Amino acid sequence: MAKSDGLSVKILSKIRGFYVMIEFVITVLITIVLMYTFRQNTHPIRRTWGKMQTFLMGFSIKQTGEASPSTTLLVMNHQSLVDIVALETIYPKNLCWIAKKEIEDIPLFGHIIPAPRMISIDRNDKRSLIKMIKEGKERVSEGRVLAMFPEGTRGRGDRLLKFQSGAKILAEKLELIVQPAIIVGARHVFDSKNIDAHSGEVKVIYLDPINPKEDEQWFEKMYHTMEERLTLELASK
């Protein structure tokens, strides 16, 4: 009986996963059209989309700590598409995501980068770093907050992957105030690699902001602080 129940749960999570994938693509395409139509209002459009996703995907968001008003670069661990949904839903300012160029290259869906004026980087092109710094400076001057996943890829959510150097270079070149955040539970809600989806809660934990000018080892210390907090949160579940 237990095996039968376990199989049923797996089948249902797969069905739910395919539903989430389909509705996610459809709603993103609609959102892209709206953002191109109303170019000056992409932030409220994305926030509305995020809130709609929490309903359609069946999850809630629990926030711990506060988004610092002085933040100009937000860095987070990455485990699921739900990470972006959660932050677009609750973050008070207009985020500018820095994403890999491969996303922008996806037919139709890739317009999710230029429509709201996000930044794409080609990790195989050294000139892309100059582009990131130039466009990052422009977005910050417009009052936006840059957002990055310094791991550079999605992890399993059970540990922090090694950080890439992009966030460090960007923060130091532009003298940004960096706020780290930990996201817990997003991969359980939707695992796009295995097409699994469940209802549940996603926790977003804001940690203390950092001024890189005050400590040369800030990047390494930030990694360890985030790693320790993630470990603590997972142990308490």
| pLDDT at residue 1 in the model | 47
pTM for the model: 0.93
> Tokens representing 217?
């080892």
Q: Are 150 and 167 in contact (CB under 8 A)?
A: yes
Q: In this model, does residue 79 exceed pLDDT 50?
A: yes
Which position has the token pair 């699994």?
196
Distance CA 61, CA 204 (A): 7
Q: With 60 as the cut, is the pLDDT of residue 2 above it? A: no
Averaged pLDDT score across all residues of the chain: 93
Say how many domains are in the chain: 1
Taking residues 133-156, what's their average pLDDT? 95
SS3 of residue 79 by DSSP: coil
**CA dist., res. 44 & res. 94, Å (int):** 9
Domain residues for 26? 2-235
Q: How would you classify the pairing of strands 178-184 and 200-206?
A: antiparallel
What is the structure's pLDDT at 124? 83
> How do residues 151-186 score in pLDDT, each as one tens digit?
988 888 888 999 999 999 999 999 999 999 999 999
CATH number for position 140 = 3.40.1130
Digit-coded pLDDT (tens) for 40-75: 999 999 999 999 999 999 999 999 999 999 999 999
Task: For residues 222 and 150, give the distance between their C-alpha atoms in angstroms, rounded to a whole number.
Answer: 11
Angstrom distances, CA of residue 47 to CA of 2, 8, 44, 111, 166 = 41, 34, 5, 17, 26
Task: Give the DSSP per-residue string, 104-149.
Answer: HTSTTGGGGTTTTT-EEE-TT-THHHHHHHHHHHHHHHTT-EEEE-
Confidence band for 4, pLDDT divided at 50, 70 and 90: low
Q: What are the tokens at 111? A: 């317009």
User: Is the model more confident about 148 or about 129?
Assistant: 148
**Rounded Cα gap, residues 136 and 130, in angstroms:** 10
pLDDT score, position 158: 84
